[in-house]
Chain A
Amino acid sequence: KAGVTQTPRYLIKTRGQQVTLSCSPISGHRSVSWYQQTPGQGLQFLFEYFSETQRNKGNFPGRFSGRQFSNSRSEMNVSTLELGDSALYLCASFPGPGQGAYGYTFGSGTRLTVV
């Protein structure tokens, strides 16, 4: 079956702009999590969604937001972009709450560069 699909793969944006990233989970998976990966901070948790509800949120400013649709697809939005938002944004899916204990399936990520 198809893996986790993230679009776009690459993005270049200017400071102050906003950006929307998309994630389609594995078919049948209803939980989606987002992570930010930078060389300095490593992988940091952004959000977790299940059944269109945000269940958990990491320690990021309010400029970072997300949502999940009824078909389990998820989007995250970053407003008023800053240079420090340049990162690889990763989406992962798993069947449902608690089942992530057995492993997450990650997409290839969206590489965001803010200039």
Chain B
Amino acid sequence: TQLLEQSPQFLSIQEGENLTVYCNSSSVFSSLQWYRQEPGEGPVLLVTVVTGGEVKKLKRLTFQFGDARKDSSLHITAAQTGDTGLYLCAGFADNNAGNMLTFGGGTRLMVKP
């Protein structure tokens, strides 16, 4: 069974602060995906990282995939109130049994004005 541990579970910060969310596993994934979910809605894809060591930037968000493709991090610079939400990491596996996305437990971020 592939497991993804995400930390921290909860994060409450002031607007303008920086933060990092971590996603760790003992398993290797074909890709690592980050989603953001608003209450009552489905997760929305933010980014996919595929290559070990890959770094992707999306405005104030920086995503990194570990060299061994087992862990990832999301760093937000100068957080804004609009960044409030549930952030989910998910590892993709493709084998003979089919495809599956394994999700971490999520990080609930609250950015206060």
Contacts and interface: CB of A to CB of B under 8 A. Distances in A.
Interface residues of A, number: 29
A91 B90 CA distance: 15
Contacts of B48: 101-103
A100 B94 CA distance: 9
Contacts of A104: 33, 45, 101
Interface of B is mostly: strand
A109 interface: yes
Interface string B32-69: 01010000111111001010000000000000000000
Interface stretch (A14-22, A40-48, A63-71): A40-48
Residue from the set A50, A55, A111 with the largest chain B CB neighbour count within 10 Å = A55
Interface of A: 4, 31, 33, 35, 42-45, 48, 50, 55-56, 58, 88, 90, 92, 97-98, 100-109, 111
